[in-house]
Amino acid sequence: MIDETTVALVADASRAHLFRVEIATGTWTPLETFDHPQGRMHDRDLWGAAPDPEKDPHGRHRVEADRFAKHVAGELAHRYDQRVFRRLIVVAPPEFMGMLRPELPTRVAESVIEERTQDLSNVRADELAARIPVPHR
């Protein structure tokens, strides 16, 4: 029998929460949190006292968000390979979702059963269950 364990990733550019989702009960149980404090810092703090716009015309926040997207994708790939899940729900703001999608290995991307482009990273687990219906496929 194939394990159809479902997990949900709820993320933004500075934190990502991973939940186990019980399809039968709709319960979301926190599994892990990945934190990236640089995603919450101001550009001037990231560059130091003398910001150099030539280093990155999009600002350091974009660089840090992209770095975090790569990290999160790697963590998801590791957990997929460890058979922690086989079905994945991804919830993230549009900009971060756009950074995360291309970083997901094919096997992980194919496990995605639901995507929501919303920032729900500060929402409690019990509220997430009510706001995001889980497909039963």
**Domain residue limits at 92:** 6-131
Q: How many domains does the chain have?
A: 1
Is residue 1 situated within a structural domain? Answer: no
Angle, vertex CA 9, rays to CA 122 and CA 44, nearest 5: 55
Contacts of 74 (CB under 8 A, 6+ apart): 103
- Total count of residues recorded for the chain: 137
- Residue 83, classified by CB atoms within 10 Å of its CB into exposed (0-12), middle (13-18) or buried (19+), is exposed
Q: Round to whole Å and give the CA distance between 57 and 30.
A: 37
Query: Residue-wise pLDDT tens for the chain (137 aa)?
Result: 345 799 999 999 999 999 999 888 888 999 999 986 654 544 555 445 445 555 555 567 688 889 999 999 999 999 999 999 999 999 999 999 999 999 999 999 999 999 999 999 888 888 888 888 776 65
Q: What is the CATH number of the domain that holds 12?
A: 3.30.420.60
Q: Quick check: 86 and 20 in contact, CB under 8 A?
A: no
Is residue 137 situated within a structural domain? Answer: no
Is residue 136 situated within a structural domain? Answer: no
